[in-house]
Homo-oligomer: A and B are copies of this chain.
């Protein structure tokens, strides 16, 4: 169970010097400057004896990433019993072991690409599992939304340290619980899915926040995680909106400062926030723009 702790359970670690690297360059005046940039590392994922994929990641949570990737690709079912997740730092390999072996060779063959930061995702597989999911009709207060985005924007992060990184946050009401970052935004989503699986967390009372765009793939992953509310500071695509409406997901985009736009499930939003107050808050937030892609 999640304790009623004011701190994030998982937060970005901008002080971790493995995650960023200092490089020397020149600025617009020709002056020498030091810059900090995120480090992308190769991580090869195995499911039992089967090599699945090599991912580029900041590699802060290889176990969560491995589990979340397999879950979001429908290669691992929530009911599957995972017996071990072994990570070998030298080999840059993570192995997820399950009690029963699965044959997913067909899935590896039937690969479809998706827009945005896709990972050669078997899109058809993601779709397949959607129809079975019924999202709870969880309400969203706009007062939560503003407190939440303000908390996210002011949390020390790799984004604020080095840019060029995506962030995802699992939240409940107005409180961020798990804040993951990665060079690919789908890695950040997958790490949260892995965290939820490992900690037996339901998505029913959660809100999912992403810096990335609200594409069809982002909608599908959120629905698969059983989360009824998806929020982004970025924009929408038409298919993302259509899928959100079909699955009953509350979809909120372009959430910057006091502004936002809801294009699905807007009947479940309670407009309880005094907007005059938000203008003061958002002026203090530091992540006015971000996602940086």
A residues near B (Cβ < 8 Å) are 20-21, 23-30, 33, 35, 37-40, 53-57, 111-121, 123, 142, 162-165, 182-185, 187, 212-216, 234-241, 253-254, 258-264, 266, 269, 271, 275, 289, 291-293
CA distance A292 to B255 in the complex (A): 12
Pair A237/B271 contact, Cβ less than 8 Å? no
Closest to A233 in B: B292
Query: For A115, A238, A293, which residue has the most chain B Cβ atoms within 10 angstroms?
Result: A115
Pair A241/B37 contact, Cβ less than 8 Å? yes
Pair A260/B28 contact, Cβ less than 8 Å? yes
Q: Which of B33, B236, B292 contacts A213 (CB 8 A)?
A: B292
- List 10 A-B pairs, Cβ < 8 Å: A27-B261, A28-B142, A37-B237, A37-B238, A39-B239, A56-B215, A116-B293, A117-B117, A183-B213, A183-B237
Known contacts A164-B214, A292-B213: does B113 contact A55 (CB below 8 Å)? yes
Beyond the given pairs A25-B261, A25-B266, A164-B237, 18 more chain A to chain B contacts, judged by CB atoms under 8 angstroms and listed by A's residue number, are A26-B261, A27-B261, A28-B261, A37-B236, A39-B237, A40-B115, A40-B237, A40-B238, A40-B239, A56-B115, A56-B239, A57-B115, A116-B293, A118-B119, A165-B235, A183-B213, A235-B292, A291-B292
